[in-house]
Amino acid sequence: MWGMQVSELLKTPLFDAHIASGGKIVPFAGYELPVQYKNGALKEYTAVREGAAGIFDITHMGQVRVEGVGALDFLQYVTTNDVSKLVDGQVQYSALLNEQGTFIDDITTYKINDEAYYLCINAANRHKDVAHLQQEATNFDVTVTDESDGTTLLALQGAKAQAALQALTEIDLESIGYYKFSRGKIGPTGGSAGGIISRTGYTGEDGFEIYIPNAIAAEVWNALLVGGAVPIGLAARDMLRTEMGYALYGHEISDVVTPVEAKLMWITKLDKGNFIGKSAVETRKSEGVKQRLIALKLTDRGIPREHYKVFVDGIESGEVTSGMHSPMAGGVALAYVKPEHAIEGDVSIEIRGKLVAAERASLPFVRSNVKK
């Protein structure tokens, strides 16, 4: 991905807006996206964590519509969570597994009604996910439509997110509960009636994710900036995500990891009936895992990074999957280690050839302020 030529990369409808705000553009998941803006990632992070609001262009994520009388049966079979528990207007965190029980992707499922659902999928996995879903759909009375190219997705996160967004929509944002959504008009000049606003996000702060047609993307983005929102790049986004301990595909979850290792059995409902990967997950659960995901916090100075080796009692045990210097918590990391080292033993992380002491931590690393 990082070796792609610029001419091969895609642009979101907000590319010019990022340039206008001083965005430093880098390749990410096949797109040209801002890693940070002119004031730097730390100030962007602070805007979200300390009482303001940040706006993220996450249009590179994929959006898939699932419709038909067989929609529920289909989603029960292809996802890990129990879709039958959803009510209209509710969102559910879930995953797509392969027959080996490992991750194709982690997703969110939006229930519009009994015969219509909306899926948000990861950018790098979009085409793989859609091909998988459309192949499986041939066995159900359902249609799977990739709407990614026509949809802009924004995340507005932070204490002032609701106030900034309310001026742009007729939807009563106060009435939208955590992991709930509403549909209606969004936009400063009448906008589009086809928008979706959900009280979701990946930062640990109150906020929303906003689905709108590409045609009004720049208008909504600029109106939110006028309303006080700060543009946020990929670097600050990853800082916020890591502090919460939220899994990221290609890091904590991948096609070699099952929900058992990744501590995601809470979205894997083995009692709901058959689904892709179920038997493999049951086998892994009964046999035991060879690695387990833990949270670590450095007790000495240093910055843990992805792929840094983790040692327990001086023995190499695993590696960091996500790591950073948290402005609020210091050096923090998520890492896979051998199961016998998940709970006991002295932990250290190798940083530039030196073992730096760490301790096991509970998640999140900093306080979550999501509005539940």
**Token couple for 212:** 């709108």
Last residue of one domain, picked from the residues 228, 253, 288 = 288
- Whether residue 298 sits in one domain with residue 268: no
- Whether residue 152 sits in one domain with residue 242: yes
How high is the pLDDT of residue 223?
Answer: 96
How high is the pLDDT of residue 259?
Answer: 98
How high is the pLDDT of residue 3?
Answer: 39
Cβ atoms 201, 153 nearer than 8 A: no
Last residue of one domain, picked from the residues 259, 288, 317 = 288
**Buried/exposed code over 134-152 (b: 16+ C-beta within 10 A; e: otherwise):** eebbeebebebebebeebb
- Whether residue 218 sits in one domain with residue 71: yes
Give 154: exposed, middle or buried? Use CB within 10 Å, 0-12, 13-18, 19+: buried
- Whether residue 95 sits in one domain with residue 218: yes
Q: What is the CATH number of the domain that holds 306?
A: 2.40.30.110
Q: What is the CATH number of the domain that holds 126?
A: 3.30.1360.120
Cβ atoms 349, 311 nearer than 8 A: yes
By C-alpha distance, which of 158, 187, 157, 160 is closest to 171?
Answer: 187
CA distances from 286 to 22, 260, 282 (A): 52, 10, 6
Q: Measured between alpha carbons, how far is 177 from 297 in angstroms, rounded to an integer?
A: 32
**Token couple for 110:** 């939006």
How high is the pLDDT of residue 4?
Answer: 39
Residues in the chain with pLDDT values less than 50: 1-6
* Residue 282 Cα to chain centre, angstroms: 25
- Alpha helices, H only, 274-332: 278-287
Q: Which domain holds residue 128?
A: 1-288
- Whether residue 272 sits in one domain with residue 126: yes
Strand partners, 143: 67
First to last CA, the chain: 37
- Whether residue 257 sits in one domain with residue 124: yes
- Whether residue 273 sits in one domain with residue 317: no
- Whether residue 275 sits in one domain with residue 299: no
By C-alpha distance, which of 256, 234, 366 is closest to 321?
Answer: 256
Number of domains in the chain: 2
Last residue of one domain, picked from the residues 288, 317, 335 = 288
- Whether residue 320 sits in one domain with residue 271: no
- 342 CB-near residues (< 8 Å, 6+ apart): 292, 294
Which residue is it, tokens 């709407």? 147
- Whether residue 179 sits in one domain with residue 326: no
* Per-residue pLDDT reduced to its tens digit, 108-135: 999 999 999 999 999 899 999 999 999 9
- Whether residue 294 sits in one domain with residue 266: no
